[in-house]
């Protein structure tokens, strides 16, 4: 694991394409605001099990509602057409939303597709977001890359570098299923049922909220704005 500033120039260029460095700052700012907004709930909830009867949650958005989600107030999020949709403006900003409950050990899974926008821009999941603004990110691109990252209030760290994989279904409108299995400091990362890597974080974040994110970026020549859909979001608490 290393600081992003120590990554090679080639890797850094790829980062700017699929996950621009300035969006790390945006993530951190959003994460701390989101955690602060939810802090009242986090401080009064002994555990996620107390709220959700120990079973986690499942969201398919078929009712056209996302009542339990805290978004970034950018106005781009909506529960529509049976999905949780980010309809962007193409400005390159990071958009994110979190489920308003904390979890410790769990299996967290989402389905995601980018239907419009830059296929090299990233989308995926956030997990173990704490009131201090610490959290993990598991991301893919529609061009076939995946990566995993860790953030604190000041820095971003690379857990898994951007890596091409045939496990990611490529192309706009292709659905991909992302899953993490979190047990203490051990995290397994899966795409479409394929286990890509398991890591053990020596300084782990052990609890927090889960969520989704997408980079709101389009190809310059495109007239259509970025759209990223999320569906079948589910979390099962581990015993």
Domain boundaries, given as residue ranges, for the chain:
2-237
Q: Report CA-CA distances (Å) from 71 to 64, 122, 182.
A: 15, 18, 23
Query: Taking 70 as the threshold, does the pLDDT of residue 227 lie above it?
Result: yes
Provide the pLDDT for residue 35.
53
Query: Taking 90 as the threshold, does the pLDDT of residue 145 lie above it?
Result: yes
* pTM of this structure: 0.82
CA distance 122 to 160: 14
> How many Å from the N-terminal Cα to the C-terminal Cα in the chain?
29
Structure token digits, residue 228:
């990223």
Q: What are phi and psi of 194, to 5 degrees?
A: -95, 125
Share of the chain above pLDDT 90, in %: 61
Q: Could you name the CATH architecture of 2-237?
A: Sandwich (2.60)
- Weakest-pLDDT range from 11-15, 102-106, 188-192: 11-15
Query: Taking 70 as the threshold, does the pLDDT of residue 160 lie above it?
Result: yes
Query: How many C-beta neighbours within 10 Å does residue 37 have?
Result: 13
- Give 20-78 pLDDT, tens digit per residue: 433 444 455 555 555 555 544 443 333 333 344 457 999 999 999 998 999 888 889 99
Sign of the torsion angle spanned by Cα atoms 153, 183, 238, 139 = positive
SS3 of residue 6 by DSSP: helix
Give me the DSSP letters along 20-82: -HHHHHHHHHHHHHHHHHHHHHHHH-S-HHHHHTTS-EEE--TTS--TTEEE-SSS-EEEETT
């Amino acid at each position: 694991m290393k600081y992003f500033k120590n990554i090679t120039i080639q890797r850094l260029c790829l980062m700017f394409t699929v996950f621009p460095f300035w969006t790390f700052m945006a993530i951190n700012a959003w994460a701390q605001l989101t955690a602060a907004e939810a802090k009242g709930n986090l401080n009064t909830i002994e555990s996620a099990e107390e709220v959700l009867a120990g079973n986690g949650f499942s969201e398919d958005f078929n009712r056209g509602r996302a009542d339990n989600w805290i978004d970034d107030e950018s106005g781009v999020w909506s529960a529509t057409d049976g999905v949780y949709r980010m309809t962007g403006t193409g400005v390159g900003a990071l958009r994110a939303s979190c489920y308003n409950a904390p979890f410790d050990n769990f299996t967290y899974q989402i389905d995601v597709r980018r239907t419009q926008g830059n296929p090299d821009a990233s989308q995926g999941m956030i997990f173990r977001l704490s009131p201090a603004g610490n959290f993990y990110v598991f991301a893919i691109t529609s061009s076939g890359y995946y990566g995993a990252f860790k953030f604190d209030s000041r820095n971003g760290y690379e857990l898994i570098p951007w890596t091409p994989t045939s496990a990611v279904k490529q192309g706009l409108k292709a659905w991909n299923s992302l899953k993490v299995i979190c047990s203490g400091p051990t995290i397994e990362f899966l795409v479409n049922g394929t286990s890509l890597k398991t890591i053990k974080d020596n300084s782990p974040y052990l609890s927090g909220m889960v969520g989704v994110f997408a980079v709101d970026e389009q190809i310059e020549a495109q007239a259509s704005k970025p759209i990223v859909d999320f569906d079948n979001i589910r979390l099962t608490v581990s015993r």
